[in-house]
Amino acid sequence: MSLCIGANIARELKKLGITQGELSERSGVAASHISYMVRGHGNPTLATLESLADVFGLSVVELLAADSTSRDKS
């Protein structure tokens, strides 16, 4: 699942056109932790996922989803 989360974070960063550093500033999650997750490592807490999902305008479920088609329909 960690790889899925990392890929989803990377995809959402690209969609918003922001860097990991900017995501860190907006979410309050350390840039090093974001980088670690994007590389497919670690197990983020629910609070971390909520912070990231909020910046992306997603629910935690959408951020965790392996298939992004439901998010891309809008």
The answer to whether position 39 is within a domain reads yes
- Please state the domain count of the chain: 1
1 pLDDT higher than 80: no
**Is-contact 37 5, C-beta < 8 A?**
yes
Cα–Cα distance, 57 to 12 (Å, whole number): 10
> What are the residues whose beta carbons fall under 8 Å from the beta carbon of 15, sequence distance 6 or more?
56
Residue 71 lies in a domain: no
Segments forming the whole domain that contains residue 34: 2-64
The answer to whether the beta carbons of residues 56 and 16 sit under 8 Å apart is yes
- Identify the CATH number of the domain in which residue 6 sits: 1.10.260.40
What is the pLDDT at residue 38?
96
Instruction: Give the number of other Cβ atoms within 10 Å of residue 63's Cβ.
Output: 21
Residue 42: per-residue pLDDT: 83
In a domain, 23, yes or no: yes
Residues 12-52 have pLDDT tens digits of 999 999 999 999 999 999 999 999 999 999 889 999 999 99
Domain assignment present for 69 = no
DSSP secondary-structure letter at 66?
A: S
